[in-house]
């Protein structure tokens, strides 16, 4: 597998505390965060983004702590990188407003994720439309050069670059233009039951998503029941075999070999599914175990976050103030 990170680069990424972490989040983003962590890496739980859809306050509170515990369990080391909560660093919301004033309604309303989410509800929140501007603020406040995210965030990254360039042209060179970094395999993990749709926290068929904290028996059942095709010929081909290709990419991401090499080892779906189930169970078990230990001590989690919030604010504050001053705020 190619090395995709230059660890001397400033990195920022975020994850919403809007549900339990699934293997799409893990393989598409979080595994990369762990591999690329260094003193220049900033990772945040984007609780403000979670408010763009209806969520119970009590659930958001719990899920935010769950999310921090999951990230630590997955391998983020707060002695190495900075892990913080978006809403605890007020500059995110403040810069978001400034950037809203250099973004257009047209470009925001063209975002695919906005259109999909807005289509599913009547009277959607304005925050759903402005969501990518807040994401741009998250990234630009840290002068991030690299943003490790799944494939679904490409468009938001492009918007961030456009907004940053527009700002710099109009008000002066304040922001670094970031680049999205996507994993070589499993950058878009699909729903196991509906391989035309991405695995998602918000909409998912009961057997469609594998969660990092799933019990082994559940993982096995979901993989065995994953939708494939009737050919029983193991070939990596997204066009004609999306279900199987999704399984091969998941396999590839956990194992490190290419999907084609893995495909060449099997002559039928049964053995492939059975080996994949073993691999996924073995890979996730240590994370689930660490999660349970960590989650039983919310005070320790809180201490990690407070430390991270403080470090994050020290970087974000000066950038915010430069941006505000450049726009004419006194
Ligand atoms: P979210 O849960 O929407 O906050 O996403 C957190 C991170 O996981 C982002 O970098 C997403 O791009 C990534 N992600 C979410 N769903 C998937 C998926 N099905 N496949 C790959 N990456 C994903
Ligand atoms: N929009 C991202 C998602 O849904 C989450 C996110 C918010 C993010 N802010 C970010 C990702 C900054 C990378 C950088 O997946």
Phi, psi of 41, rounded to the nearest 5 degrees? -105, 130
Mean pLDDT of the chain: 96
Give the chain's radius of gyration (CA, Å).
20
Establish whether residue 153 lines the binding site of ligand 1, counting it when its CB lies within 6 angstroms of any ligand atom: yes
Burial of residue 76 (CB within 10 Å: 0-12, 13-18, 19+) is: buried
Beta bridge partners of 5: none
Burial of residue 224 (CB within 10 Å: 0-12, 13-18, 19+) is: middle
pLDDT at position 255, please?
97
pLDDT at position 7, please?
64
Whether the predicted pLDDT of 190 surpasses 50 = yes
pLDDT at position 79, please?
96
Q: Measured between alpha carbons, how far is 135 from 312 in angstroms, rounded to an integer?
A: 15
Residue with tokens 């007020």: 90
pLDDT confidence tier of residue 3, bands split at 50, 70 and 90: very low
| Three-state DSSP class for residue 148 | strand
Which ligand ends up closest to the CA of 131?
2
pLDDT at position 232, please?
86
Whether the predicted pLDDT of 2 surpasses 80 = no
273 is catalytic: no
Whether the predicted pLDDT of 142 surpasses 90 = yes
Of all protein residues, the one whose alpha carbon is nearest to atom 17 of ligand 1 is 24
Pocket test for ligand 2, best of 33, 49, 176, 180 (most atoms within 8 A of CB): 49
Structure tokens at 86: 């978006």
Q: Measured between alpha carbons, how far is 145 from 201 in angstroms, rounded to an integer?
A: 28
Establish whether residue 143 lines the binding site of ligand 1, counting it when its CB lies within 6 angstroms of any ligand atom: no
Q: Average pLDDT of 51-77?
A: 97
CATH class of 216-292: mainly alpha
Whether the predicted pLDDT of 5 surpasses 80 = no
Beta bridge partners of 198: 190
pLDDT-above-70 percentage for the chain? 98
Q: Average pLDDT of 244-269?
A: 97
Domain locations in the chain as residue ranges: 11-187+298-326, 216-292
Of all protein residues, the one whose alpha carbon is nearest to atom 11 of ligand 2 is 14
Closest alpha carbon to 97 in 330, 313, 329:
329
Which ligand ends up closest to the CA of 13?
2
Write the CB contacts of 38 (distance below 8 Å, at least 6 apart in sequence). Answer: 7, 8, 11, 80, 81
115 is catalytic: no
| Three-state DSSP class for residue 302 | helix
Reported pTM: 0.96
Residues in the chain: 330
Per-residue pLDDT of 158-189, as tens digits, reads 999 999 999 999 999 999 999 999 999 999 99
**Residues in contact with ligand 2 (CB, 6 Å cut-off):** 12-14, 16, 46, 49, 135, 138-139, 147, 149, 153, 156
Per-residue pLDDT of 216-239, as tens digits, reads 999 999 999 999 999 989 999 999
Phi, psi of 186, rounded to the nearest 5 degrees? 65, 30
Measured distance between the N- and C-terminal CA atoms of the chain, rounded to whole angstroms: 50
Topology (CATH) of 11-187+298-326 = Rossmann fold (3.40.50)
Establish whether residue 64 lines the binding site of ligand 1, counting it when its CB lies within 6 angstroms of any ligand atom: no
Per-residue pLDDT of 270-291, as tens digits, reads 999 999 999 999 999 999 999 9
Per-residue pLDDT of 290-330, as tens digits, reads 999 999 999 999 999 999 999 999 999 999 999 999 999 99
């Amino acid at each position: 597998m190619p090395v995709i990170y230059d660890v001397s680069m400033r990195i920022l990424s975020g994850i919403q505390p809007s549900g339990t972490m699934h293997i799409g989040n893990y393989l598409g983003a979080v595994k990369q965060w762990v591999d690329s962590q260094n003193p220049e890496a900033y990772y945040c739980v984007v609780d403000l983004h979670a408010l763009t859809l209806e969520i119970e306050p009590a659930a958001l509170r719990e899920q935010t702590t769950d999310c921090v515990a999951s990230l630590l369990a997955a391998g983020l080391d707060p002695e190495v990188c900075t892990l913080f909560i978006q809403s605890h660093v007020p500059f995110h919301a403040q810069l978001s407003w400034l950037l809203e004033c250099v973004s257009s309604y047209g470009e925001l309303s063209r975002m695919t994720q906005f259109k999909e989410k807005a289509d599913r509800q009547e009277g959607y929140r304005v925050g759903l439309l402005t969501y990518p501007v807040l994401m741009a603020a998250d990234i630009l406040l840290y002068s991030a050069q690299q943003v490790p995210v799944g494939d679904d965030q490409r468009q938001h990254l492009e918007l961030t670059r456009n907004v940053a360039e527009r700002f710099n042209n109009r008000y002066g060179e304040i922001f670094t233009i970031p680049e999205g970094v996507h994993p070589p395999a499993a950058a878009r993990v699909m729903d196991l039951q509906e391989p035309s749709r991405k695995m998602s926290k918000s909409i998912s068929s009961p057997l469609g998503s594998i969660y990092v904290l799933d019990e082994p028996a559940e993982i096995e059942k979901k993989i065995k029941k994953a939708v494939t095709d009737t050919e029983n010929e193991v070939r990596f081909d997204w066009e004609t075999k999306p279900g199987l290709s999704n399984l091969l990419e998941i396999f590839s991401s956990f194992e490190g070999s290419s999907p084609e090499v893995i495909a060449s080892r099997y002559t039928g779906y049964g053995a492939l599914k059975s080996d994949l189930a073993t691999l996924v169970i073995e890979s996730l078990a240590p994370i689930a175990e660490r999660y349970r230990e960590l989650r039983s001590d919310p005070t320790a989690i809180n201490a990690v976050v407070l430390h991270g919030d403080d470090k994050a604010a020290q970087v974000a504050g000066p950038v915010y103030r430069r941006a505000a001053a450049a726009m004419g705020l006194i």
